[in-house]
Amino acid sequence: MIFFILKKIKIFLLAGIIAIFFFKLLGIFFGGDNFENFGEKTKKIMLNDDGFFFSTFSKSETVEEFLKDKKIEISDRDKIIPEKSSQLYYGSTILIERAKQVRIKVDGKELSGFFLGKTVEDALQENKIELSRLDKVEPMPKKLLEKNVSIVVTRINIEEKKEQEEIDFKVVAKNDSDLGWREKKIKKEGEKGINEVTYKITYKDGKEVSRTILRKEKIKDPIEQIELHGTYVKTGKAQKGQGTWYAFKGGLFAASLSIPIGHYARVTNLANGKSVIVQINDRGPYGKGRIIDLDKVAFVKIASLGAGVIGVKVEEVLN
């Protein structure tokens, strides 16, 4: 009988030790070194702090007490649900949305402020900024907001636009022996034609960045212009001798000792009959038998440079 009683006592003592150990474990788990004070007032609270989730225990009666107890700082711009004065119960959830400073460049303006949204898209919506299908946003709209982020919205527009484009007319020259060699006369005025060009134009923030021709349609043909070019040359006394060349101004010029500077002369190659009219702008040549020194640009009109010296006829032009 005594043995049975002692056995019962051992069982009760062992159960007590196990119970004390169990409650000690609970005390550690719930964050208290003294589980005797845990009681009914201790609550399990779920906290979502701007996307970071926590599970903790607190004896706080209200949200405001909980924030002070856990040393969680809240700015006036932040949003907290439920309100700070709200009663807490076991299993209550507290949501904190942190306001982030954001700069938005859009439509030639820069907006700056604190926003509660989680993504770039949320910040744009809070500012009532609407996006078209082609608009470009950096960072991407679905990207999570970061502190001091700068958002740039580029407006992109594409339009088709018709513009008229002029078509130059051709000039047809006809020789007229009744007109002086330096005279020109328009016999029939030319008229420019017109193309209607349809462009696809891309604008970024109102500025044109590219254009592509979609189609071109001629709506008016150009009308050619007919001009009369005089060929009559009145000459004075002719002289024959040797002609040479040199590099000077690079044009239809020549040096002469008998024709005044600024006047014109017609020089004819006696070997092939080719001629060129030049303006006298220099003095020379001084070699025996040589009567004119042509600029090489003029010389190649009547002979090859390799010829060097050629027989020529020189006539002063009087008109």
- Does the structure show a pLDDT above 60 at 38? no
CATH class of 38-97: alpha beta
172 close to 227: Cβ distance less than 8 angstroms: yes
What would the mean pLDDT of 165-185 be, rounded to a whole number? Answer: 95
CATH class of 159-229: mainly beta
Q: Indicate the domain borders of the chain.
A: 38-97, 100-154, 159-229, 234-317
Give me the DSSP letters along 171-187.
Answer: EEEEEEEEEETT-EEEE
**CB-CB neighbours of 276 under 10 Å:** 20
At 71-83, the pLDDT tens digits run 999 999 999 999 9
Task: Determine the topology of domain 234-317 in CATH.
Answer: Barwin-like endoglucanases (2.40.40)
- Does the structure show a pLDDT above 70 at 39? no
CATH architecture of 100-154: Roll (3.10)
Question: Could you tell me which of 190, 187, 192 has the C-alpha nearest to residue 175?
Answer: 187
The residue whose two tokens read 């390799």 is 306
- Does the structure show a pLDDT above 90 at 230? yes
Cis before 139? omega within 30: yes
At 8-17, the pLDDT tens digits run 556 655 655 6
Domains 100-154 and 159-229 fall in the same CATH topology: no
At 53-73, the pLDDT tens digits run 999 999 999 999 999 999 999
Strand order in the sheet with 43-49: 52-58, 43-49, 93-97, 79-81
Q: What is the pLDDT of residue 147?
A: 85
Residue 283: burial class (beta carbons within 10 Å; 0-12, 13-18, 19+) = exposed
